[in-house]
Amino acid sequence: MAAALVVCLHVPLRAQCPAPQISTDAVVLLQSGDVSKLRDASGYRESLSQCGSVHQQQVIKTGSDGYAKFQVSDGSTFEVFPNTQLTYRKTFGVGDLLNVWLGKVKVYIQHLPGVPNPNNVTTPTALISVRGTVFDVDVEDADGTTFVTLDEGIVDVRHLLVASPVVRLIPGGSVRVIPNQPLAPLARDKSGIARKILQMAQDAARQVLYQRAGAPSVGGSGGSGPVATSTGAQGDKGKTTGTTTSGSGSTTGAPTGAPTGAPTGAPTAPPPPGGGGGDE
């Protein structure tokens, strides 16, 4: 019943957007609040709305009430939450998707059964390599401290600043990338506190969207209750599940450096997830 309700909530809010004129563009499926893109190096901000598009190397910014969901040509989608700043396809290389400078995103990589769809998401400190999966990235502060948690599939996380083992996450696993510390998987978070806090923040942003659109909520009429959410069927299926993280067992040298060219004027950093993700 909950899954059916999610479908009912999404259908009336999703605009029937035409295909983008440029296949590498990302199209806005859903939008609420302050969401904009930087048109060029001058820093001019242009508001985004449903069916708008973002070109390669353009910066997406959200304000304190901003939320948007984008789709790319292969069917993959990503959600951008309040107080977030990122560059869409910062480089023109194959597999480059997002460079998140600050804030929270949720990524759903679409792929055919048994056929990987390699993509990379980077932050000032981390490189997240995926094949077809559902995961969250939270850049917690201006130093680039990055929290990565996985819902479906498998992702490899590498430190961009410190020589460290590559950490491979399985569903339910998480890792925090700290600028000056070697990368290590977090201890098992049996209660999933960090993941729950992150999910609550995401649900709150989605709820505002439905309330503004006048859609019903799970809690009853008038939009007073929480919105049911689902990761859908976009990630890897049939993968081993679990609640712990694991390292790859090999140590690699630090790459040539963190991404450069971060846009100026980043919004105030959101507070880090509570509970430390079980890394104490």
Predicted structure pTM score: 0.68
Show contacts of 114-117: CB within 8 Å, 24+ apart. Answer: 117/74, 117/76
Q: Residue 233 corresponds to which amino acid? A: A
What is the rounded CA–CA span in Å between residue 267 and residue 138? 14
Q: Residue 150 corresponds to which amino acid? A: L
Q: What is the pLDDT of residues 177-211, one digit of tens each?
A: 999 999 876 655 545 666 677 777 677 777 777 66
Q: Residue 228 corresponds to which amino acid? A: A
What is the rounded CA–CA span in Å between residue 96 and residue 118? 9
Which residues share a beta bridge with 139? 103, 146
Contacts of 121 (CB under 8 A, 6+ apart): 97, 98, 99, 100, 105, 107, 128, 130, 137
Burial of 56 (0-12, 13-18, 19+ CB in 10 A): middle
150, 173 Cβ separation under 8 angstroms: yes
Question: Both tokens of residue 228?
Answer: 């049911």
* 8-state DSSP, 100: E
What is the rounded CA–CA span in Å between residue 231 and residue 220? 22
> Per-residue confidence of the chain (280 residues) as pLDDT tens digits?
344 333 333 434 445 787 777 888 999 999 999 999 997 777 789 999 999 999 999 999 999 999 999 999 889 999 999 999 999 998 876 789 999 999 999 999 987 777 778 899 999 999 999 878 999 999 999 999 999 999 999 999 999 999 999 999 989 889 999 999 998 766 555 456 666 777 776 777 777 776 666 544 433 333 333 333 444 444 444 343 333 333 333 333 444 444 445 555 544 445 544 544 444 3
The torsion of the CA quartet 222, 232, 76, 207, rounded to 10 degrees, works out to: 20
Per-position DSSP letters for 147-204, written without gaps between them:
EEEEEES-EEEEESSS-EEEEEE-TT-EEEE-TTS---PPPP-TT-HHHHHHHHHHHH
Q: 278: left (phi > 0), else alpha (psi -120 to 50), else beta?
A: left
